[in-house]
Amino acid sequence: MKLTTSLAVSALLAASTALAAPHEARQQRRQFGSGFPGDGAAVNGFTSGGRNQGQGQPSFNWGASAPSASASASASSSEQQQQQQQQQQQQPTQTAAPTSYYANPSAAAPTTTASVNHRTSTNTAADYEINENWAGAVLESAPASTATYTYVAATFTLPSVTPTAASSSSDTQAVSFWVGIDGATAGNSIWQTGVDIYVDSNNETSFAAWYEWYPLNSVDVEMDFSIGDVVFASVEATSSTAGTAVIENLTTGKKVTMHATAPSESAKLEGQNAEWIVEDLAVDGDGLTLVGFDDAVFTGCVAKTADGQSYNLDDGAALYAVQDTYSSSVQAVPEIVSSEKLVVSYQ
């Protein structure tokens, strides 16, 4: 039997004692964690931020001497209350997405330098950076300080999934497909939306559409999906502190538009990153194993800047690949097929 609503996903996770901790991490899983969510220990030179921190920003294997890549997600009690109130207020609507862009972020964006050794579409070790949870493509810096990224979109097909034999029978396995602004190399925030696929120990498949403005928790969206459905996803920053996300199931015709605001001044968008990602939802060992999946194909990959220009994968996108924490084997490898087409393959 296939579960098709986000409520079913919540019930599935709540019913499994083994998944109690990963379920917490899933609600805030995509930004500024590193190592193992919840263990608070240093992994690959970085320190994880606690169970509710999640694992979202890619954790690269740069060694213990590398500078910390985990940004502080802590807030005062008043900030936390404000975030909770904003979380409750941010509900999906059926209104059309606005098309305006913010001309200038309120704070100067940091200067970033992208590596030059992973710009081709071939699958060799020199062509991608290894990390623990992101596989896909990232524009790591905006073309100019006055031309920051304000819109990212793509269409992807929900692939068939196959539980991995290495996982214990009690594990729920998962994979996430999303687009986003910031969070890779810039800022204390990320604005993103996508769809998760879960497979439980009974081989039952469920889905969850969601949106998130980190450090707020992700918000599930009521939508039905099936394997093979074609999904359009987009995020837009209407200012550095407000945004609109769209999830549309092109197969069923259902479309939902969501709105959110930055939970604090420190969570403003900088517009320095545009992302198309397949994500391992929890670093191995924390309960949500990366499920095997057929090729994940993103088409129509586009990022737009505040001055109205469009950019694609061939405009210097960096490639990220997911490596298994324990075996050191590469699990998910990206390939740029064309300027607007990205394929992520499970190994």
Q: Are 284 and 326 in contact (CB under 8 A)?
A: yes
Per-residue confidence of the chain (347 residues) as pLDDT tens digits? Answer: 223 333 333 333 333 322 222 223 344 444 433 322 222 222 222 222 222 223 356 654 432 222 222 333 333 444 445 555 555 445 554 433 333 233 222 222 222 222 222 233 344 445 899 998 999 999 999 998 789 999 999 999 999 999 987 655 557 899 999 999 999 998 789 999 999 999 998 899 999 999 999 999 999 999 999 999 999 999 999 999 999 999 999 999 999 999 999 999 999 999 999 999 999 987 555 658 899 999 999 999 999 998 999 999 999 999 999 998 777 889 999 999 999 999 999 99
Residue spans of the domains in the chain: they are 129-346
342 Cα distance to chain centroid: 15
250 Cα distance to chain centroid: 21
100 Cα distance to chain centroid: 24
Closest to 102 in 3D by CA, of 270, 226, 220, 266: 270
* Residue-level pLDDT at 187: 73
Indicate the pairing of strand 254-261 with strand 242-249.
antiparallel
Q: Are 304 and 215 in contact (CB under 8 A)?
A: no
Q: What are phi and psi of 249, to 5 degrees?
A: -85, 100
Full DSSP string of 154-175: EEEE---EE--TTS-TT-EEEE
Is the pTM higher than 0.85? The answer reads no
Per the structure block, which two tokens stand in for 30? Answer: 């995509």
* Residue-level pLDDT at 71: 30
Per the structure block, which two tokens stand in for 257? Answer: 């538009």
* Residue-level pLDDT at 231: 99
Full DSSP string of 230-280: EEEEEEEEEETTEEEEEEEETTTTEEEEEEEE-SSGGG------EEEEEE-
Is 279 catalytic? The answer is yes
Q: Which CATH superfamily is domain 129-346 in?
A: Peptidase G1 (2.60.120.700)
For residue 292, the SS3 value is: strand
Please state, in angstroms and rounded to a whole number, the distance separating the CA atoms of residues 268 and 259.
15
The separation between the first and the last C-alpha atoms of the chain, rounded to the nearest angstrom, is 27
**Set 129, 132, 140, 279: catalytic member:** 279
